Structure 1
Amino acid sequence: MTLPLLLTILVLGELPGSYCTMTTVGDLSVLEGQSVTVPCHYNPQYISHVKYWCYGRMKDFCSSLARTDDPTSAPNARGQVTIADDPTQHVFTVSMQDLTVGDSGWYWCGVELGGMWVSDSTASLYISVIQGVSVVNNVVSADEGRSVTVQCLYSKNLRSSEKRWCRSGNWNSCVVTDPEGTSSSGNVLIHDDRISMFTVTLTQLEMRDSGWYWCGAGQQHGAVLVSVTPQATTLPGATVSPVQYLKTSVRSPSVMGTNDPHSRPVWESLLVVCGVVLLIMTVSLAFWKLRKQYKKKQKHQRASIIGQTNDNLTMCPWTEGDYTNTSVIFLNTPAQQVQMQEPSDGKQLMMKTF
Structure 2
Amino acid sequence: MTLPLLLIILVLGELPGSYCTMKTVGDLSLLEGQSVTVPCHYNPQYISHVKYWCYGRMKDFCSSLARTDDPTSAPNVKGKVTIADDPTQHVFTVSMQNLTEGDSGWYWCGVELGGMWVADSTASLYISVIQGVSVVNSMVSADEGRSVTVQCLYSKNLRSSEKRWCRSGNWNSCMVTDSEGTFSSRNVLIHDDKNSMFTVTLTQLEMRDSGWYWCGAGQQHGAVHVSVTPQATTRATVSPVQYLKTTGRTPSVMGTNDPHSRPVWEHLLVVCGIVLLVMTVSLALWKLRKHYKKKQKHQRTNETNDNFTMCPWREGDYKNTSVIFLNAPAQQVQML
TM-score when normalising by structure 2: 0.69
In structure 2, the residue matched to 1:140 is 140
**Take 2:3 and 2:234, find their aligned partners in 1: how far apart are those partners?**
82
Structure 2, unmatched stretches of 5+, are 240-256, 260-336
Aligned to 1:63: 63
Secondary structure of the residue aligned to 1:172 is strand
How far has the Cα of 1:207 moved from its partner? 1.0
Q: How does 1:200-211 map to 2 (within 5 A)?
A: 200-211=200-211
Asked if structure 2 preserves the Cα contact closer than 8 Å seen for 1:104 and 1:128, the reply is: yes
Q: CA deviation at 1:72?
A: 1.8
For residues 180-205 of structure 1, give each alpha carbon's deviation from its aligned partner in whole angstroms, at most 9, with x where no partner exists. Answer: 00001220000000000000000111
Q: Work out the CA distance in 2 between the residues paired with 1:235 and 1:113.
A: 69
Contact conserved, 1:105 with 1:126, CA < 8 A, in 2?
A: yes
Distance 1:115 1:6 in 2: 19
What's 1:197 paired with?
Answer: 197
1:153-192 aligned within 5 A: 153-192=153-192
The CA distance in 2 between the partners of 1:171 and 1:105, in whole Å, is 37
**1:328 maps to what in 2?**
none
Percent identity (aligned):
90
Pick closer, same or farther for the CA change 1:162–1:184 going to 2, 3 Å: same
Q: Which residue of 1 aligns with 2:227?
A: 227
Shift of 1:91: 1.2
TM-superposition CA deviations, 1:93-125 (whole Å, max 9, x none): 111110000001111010000001111111111
Secondary structure at the counterpart of residue 126 of structure 2: strand
Name the amino acid aligned to 2:215.
C
How far apart are the structure 1 equivalents of 2:50 and 2:210? Answer: 52
Shift of 1:25: 1.3
Q: Does the C-alpha gap of structure 1 residues 168 and 78 become closer, same or farther in structure 2, counting only changes over 3 Å?
A: farther
Shift of 1:13: 2.4
Aligned length: 242
Residues of 1 paired with 2:18 and 2:146: CA distance?
52
- Provide Cα deviations, 1:235-279, integer angstroms capped at 9, x if missing partner: 32269x9x9xxxxxxxxxxxxxxxxxxxxxxxxxxxxxxxxxxxx
How many Å separate the matches in 2 of 1:235 and 1:15?
A: 66
SS in 2 for 1:17: coil
Is the contact between residue 79 and residue 98 of structure 1 (CA under 8 Å) also seen in structure 2? no
Matched residues in 1 for 2:126 and 2:112: separation?
A: 21
Give 1:59-138 correspondences, 5 Å limit. 59-77=59-77, 80-138=80-138
Which residues in structure 2 correspond to 1:329-348 (within 5 Å)?
none
Q: Do the aligned residues in 2 keep the contact of 1:79 with 1:103 (CA within 8 Å)?
A: no
Distance in 2 (CA, whole Å) between partners of 1:118 and 1:9 is 14
Question: Does the aligned pair in 2 maintain the 1:79–1:99 contact within 8 Å?
Answer: no
Q: Secondary structure of the residue that 1:186 maps to in structure 2?
A: coil
State the 1:8 CA deviation. 2.8
CA distance in 1, matches of 2:83, 2:119: 21
State the one-letter code of the partner of 2:36. V
Q: Which amino acid aligns with 2:208?
A: R
SS state at 2:8 partner: helix
2:98 maps to a residue whose letter is: D
Per-residue CA deviations over 1:99-156 (Å, capped at 9, x if unaligned) read 0000011110100000011111111111110000000011111111111111000000
* Cα RMSD for the two superposed structures: 1.9
| Contact kept? 1:68, 1:84, Cα under 8 Å | yes
Query: What amino acid maps onto 2:165 in structure 1?
Result: W
| Amino acid corresponding to residue 134 of structure 1 in structure 2 | S
Distance (Å, rounded) in 2 between the aligned partners of 1:186 and 1:132: 29
Unaligned segments of structure 1, at least 5 residues:
244-354
8 Å contact from structure 2 (residues 72, 78) kept in 1: no
Cα distance in 1 between the residues matched to 2:238 and 2:34: 52
Aligned equivalent of 1:285: none
Secondary structure at the aligned position of 2:109 is classed as strand
- 1:87 Cα shift? 1.4
- The 3 A distance-change label for structure 1 pair 136 and 49 is same
Equivalent position SS for 2:75? coil
Which amino acid is 1:76 matched to? N
Which SS does the other structure have where 1:208 is aligned? Answer: helix
Distance (Å, rounded) in 2 between the aligned partners of 1:78 and 1:5: 42
Secondary structure at 2:48 match in 1: coil
Letter in 2 for 1:100: T
State the partner residue of 1:42.
42
Q: Distance in 2 between matches of 1:233 and 1:180?
A: 41
> Can you list the C-alpha shifts for 1:15-69, whole angstroms capped at 9, x where unaligned?
1111110111111111000011111111111111111000011111100000111
Which is worse superposed, 1-10 or 148-157? Answer: 1-10
Matched residue, 1:291: none
1:44 and 1:5 mapped to 2: Cα distance? 33
Deviations 1:199-224 (A, max 9, x none): 00001111111111110000100111
Q: What does residue 3 of structure 1 align with?
A: 3
The AA in structure 1 aligned to 2:34 is Q
Asked if structure 1 preserves the Cα contact closer than 8 Å seen for 2:141 and 2:228, the reply is: yes
- Spell out structure 1 runs of 4+ moving beyond 3 A: none
| Distance change in 2, residues 1:155/1:69 (3 Å) | same
Please tell me the residue identity of whatever aligns with 2:116.
Answer: M
SS of the equivalent of 1:76 reads: helix
Which stretch shifts more, 230-239 or 171-180?
230-239
- Distance, in Å, in 1 between the alignment partners of 2:139 and 2:67 is 39
